[in-house]
Chain A
C-alpha cells in the first residue's frame, strides 16, 4: 500500500455544538490521500468540503476523530500543529481578499518569513513561487491592490506555494475568473505539481476541470463521502451525480446523447479532446448504424 501523506480517521465536526444552531458539518469521514496524488473534491455548497479541508492543516480542530500527516496526529502537541501549517498549504476561496502587504514581493514573502528562513532562502522561495504562477518580477515592487483580479489571485497562491508545502490545498481557486484566467490558474497548478512532486487537493465546482485534471475524485454530500474514485467511476453514475446537486461534464453529456441516438461512442468520455477523437474514429470505422 502506498504511504498516505494525509489520513483522516472518523473525522467529525459539529458547528455551534450545544446551541439551537448545532449543525454537523462533517460526520465520520475516513480518507487516505496518497503522496503525489492530484485529488479533486466536489460536492454541493454546504456538503462539507471546505470544513473538511480546513482540518487538513489544523485550522479547525475535529469534534472527534483524527487527522494524520505521515502517520502522526497533527493535534498531538502544539509544535506539530504549528508546523503542519507549512507542510500543508491552504489557499482559501477568494484569497486575493487576504493580500495585505505593501508590495507583491513582501506579500509572497510573508509565509517563508514566518518560517524563520534566512533572507537568501526567502528570496529563493519568493522568486520560485512567483515563477510557478506566472507573476513577473517587474510586479514585485507594485502594491498588490494595483493588480487585476487574476493577477491578485496568482499572487495569493504564490504566497502559499512560497512555503514549499508538501501538500497544496486550493479551495475553488478559479471562482469568478474568466475562462482564460481559469485555464491559466489550472495550468499553473499542474505545472507546479509536475515540477515539485507535491500532492494537490483541489476543491472545485467545475465538473469539467475536475474530470480533466484529477486522478481521483472525492464526492461530498451531506457531510460525508458519497463516492471516491476515478473520474470515470464517478461520472458514469450520471443519475446519482445529478441527484446530489452536481453535474456531469458537458462533453460527457454530449457523448451520452450521441449514444442514445445510436452512435457507438465509448463510455468514460469527459474531455472535449477525447470526445472529438471518439467521433472521428467512428467516422473512420464507418460503423454508424448501431
Chain B
C-alpha cells in the first residue's frame, strides 16, 4: 500500500538542549490509516507532530509526506496544505469572530476562488456536524465544538493527512466522544490519514495502528490489541491500558485463560463469559 509519511532515521534536538528529544525514528504510515500515538509527557510526541509539517525541521534524518521532503523550503506551503495540525487548546487556534469565517481562513489565504471557498466551508462544517453553528461566535461554543471547528478549518484546505496533538485533553467526556468519532469518520469515509496523539487509552482502541514513544524512540508499534496486550511495557512507560485489558490481565494472573487482545468492551465481556463457562 501507498505510504503517505516516511520517516527515516529522524533525530531532533532543540536549540540549546544537550539531550536529543527524538533519537532515531523510522516509521512509515499508510495512506488512509488511523494511527494513534501514545507516550508519557516529554516522550517526544508533540515534537514529532511538529516535524510532520515543517514547524520544526530534522536535526538529522529525513521526513517526507506525500513525496514532499519537509526540509525543502520551496515546498513548505504545499506541505502545509497536505498535512494539517490540530492542537490541544482550542482557544489558541481560532482566529475569526464567526465560525464560518474561521473555517474560511486557510482557503482564503491559499487564494481559493470565493465560490469554491463557500462550498468547502459548508462541506467541512457539515462533515464535523457544526453547520448549524456557522453564524455563531466561536468563543461561545463548548470545548468539543471549538475543536470540531478547528478540524473543519483544516478540512477546508483539503489535506491528505490530519495530525491531532492531544485534541481532547481539555474536553469533557461528550467533547472527547465528538472529536474522536469525527476524526475516525474522516478516516473511514473520506480516506484522510489521521495521526491522533493522546493520553487517553480508550481513544486508541479503534485505531488501525498504535505507536508508543518513549525518550524519543519507538518502543511499541502494532495493532492496538497487540500493543495493549503487553501491559507490563505500557505500565513501565508511565502509561496505562484500557480497563478491558486490565481486567483480562488480572484474570489471566488468577488462572482464568482469557485472550488479552479483547480490548473492546463487548469482546472483553464475551471472552470473560466464555472463559468462566469453560471453567465450569
A interface list, Cβ under 8 A from B: 21, 43-46, 93, 148-150, 175-181, 205, 207-208, 245-247, 249-251, 253-254, 257-258, 260-263, 272, 275-276, 279-280, 282-283, 286, 288-289
Contacts and interface: CB of A to CB of B under 8 A. Distances in A.
Given A44-B142, A246-B174, A254-B243, A148 B41 contact: yes
Contacts of B266: 257
Contact of A250 (B144, B202, B239, B254): B202
Nearest to B170: A175
B280 A279 contact: no
A45 B273 contact: no
Contacts of B169: 175-176
Contacts of B202: 250
Residues of B contacting A: mostly: helix
Contacts of A177: 41, 199
Nearest to A277: B250
Interface in B228-276: 238-240, 242-244, 246-247, 250-251, 254, 256, 265-266, 268-270, 272-273, 276
B143 interface: yes
Leading 8 A-B pairs by shortest Cβ distance: A180-B238, A250-B243, A245-B174, A179-B240, A257-B269, A247-B173, A178-B40, A276-B250
Given A272-B250, A288-B280, A176 B199 contact: yes
Contact of B276 (A93, A148, A275, A283): A283
A286 B276 CA distance: 8
Contacts of A43: 172
Contacts of B39: 178
B243 A283 contact: no
A278 to B, nearest CB: 10
Contacts of B250: 272, 276
B238 A251 contact: no
Interface of B: 39-42, 88, 140, 142-144, 166, 169-175, 177, 199, 201-202, 238-240, 242-244, 246-247, 250-251, 254, 256, 265-266, 268-270, 272-273, 276-277, 279-280
Given A245-B174, A250-B243, A283 B42 contact: no
Contacts of A205: 171-173
Contact of B279 (A148, A207, A249, A283): A283
Contacts of A207: 173
A272 B246 CA distance: 7
Contacts of B265: 250, 253-254, 257
Contacts of B144: 45
A21 B136 CA distance: 12
A263 B273 contact: yes
A219 to B, nearest CB: 12
A280 to B, nearest CB: 6
Contacts of A150: 41
Nearest to B239: A179
13 contacts: A21-B140, A45-B142, A45-B144, A45-B172, A149-B42, A180-B240, A205-B172, A245-B174, A246-B172, A253-B265, A261-B270, A263-B272, A272-B246
A179 B273 contact: no
Most A CB within 10 A of own CB, among B166, B175, B276: B276
A149 B41 contact: yes
Contacts of B172: 43-45, 205, 245-246
B280 to A, nearest CB: 6
Given A179-B201, A250-B202, A283-B254, 8 more contacts: A93-B170, A180-B240, A257-B269, A272-B243, A276-B247, A276-B251, A279-B247, A283-B279
Contacts of A282: 276
A283 B270 CA distance: 15
A259 B238 CA distance: 32
B273 A254 contact: no
A288 B275 CA distance: 10
B280 A286 contact: yes
B251 A176 contact: no
Contacts of A275: 243, 247
A178 B46 CA distance: 13
B40 A180 contact: yes
A171 B247 CA distance: 30
Contacts of A179: 199, 201, 238-240
A258 B88 CA distance: 35
B256 A283 contact: yes
Nearest to B166: A176
A254 B88 contact: no
